[in-house]
Structure 1
Amino acid sequence: MHLRWKLCVVLGGGTGVGHEVSLRLARAGAGVLVADPDLTLAEETAAALRGNRVSTWSIEVDPADDRELELLAARARDLGGADLVVVTGVTPARGKDVAAALLAEPQLVGVLADDQPGGDARTAIAVVDLLGTADAGTVVVVA
């Protein structure tokens, strides 16, 4: 799958590996909905992505709150629906819950440990590599 013109939702996109994944997705031409518990960080990441001339949005979401996940899913639908989802900073089980809220038929292709040699950038490269060859509906969880 080419990432250009796809909507990628990155939960935990305000900091760390989520921020790095968001940057790399934008560089590949994807639109990115940056979701994070800290709205300021989500907005800062979205602003940084706009330099790549892609559509970006930010939203405050607590991944532990089911109601907020419903609001995230509604926002993604308003934008045409999520094609790909990256979830960081939660357990793999909660990552599956997030995916189920965002996608009708989520396909979990990977659960990566957030301890790759080389840190956040290395993990982000692995995530984007997975997404670049994946079908719509793909989910990657970084725990």
Structure 2
Amino acid sequence: MMVSLGFEYFHFFLAQSIVCPIGASAVTSASMSCLVTWFHRRRATAFGIMMSGSSVGGVILPIMIPRMIDSVGFPWAMRTVGFMFLSLLAIACCTVRSRLEPQTKPVDMKEYFRGIREPTMMLLLLLLYLTPWRPG
């Protein structure tokens, strides 16, 4: 909704490239962590259905937004999309829940660094480090 109030480039940049991804990652990670507790055998199918929502949005929004901009103008088109997302997010917040109760356990920092010692992870980190210096 903040995009509708922007009038300079950095307003759009701030809203679309910083704030939106933070919110999307919070919603996606919470949904994925709850989904894991409900499905075991058909987990991949459940993840596919959950992630297909972004694909539907990628098809519908480019059709819907230009038509709304032509009819009500840019600010109200963005506000309408924001209110639509707000209502869908409210429904998701009320319906998504974990099957298991949260368990409290002490934080062990060795757990966080255990994966770094695996050869696959070491190779990935090395390649990510060398990516900026690749030729071409």
Q: Shorter chain as normaliser: what TM range?
A: under 0.3
The answer to which structure, 1 or 2, has the higher relative contact order (CA under 8 A, 6+ apart) is 2
Q: Give me the TM-score of the superposition, normalised by structure 1.
A: 0.26
Q: Give me the TM-score of the superposition, normalised by structure 2.
A: 0.27
Q: Which one has a larger percent strand, Structure 1 or Structure 2?
A: 1
Q: Which one has a larger percent helix, Structure 1 or Structure 2?
A: 2
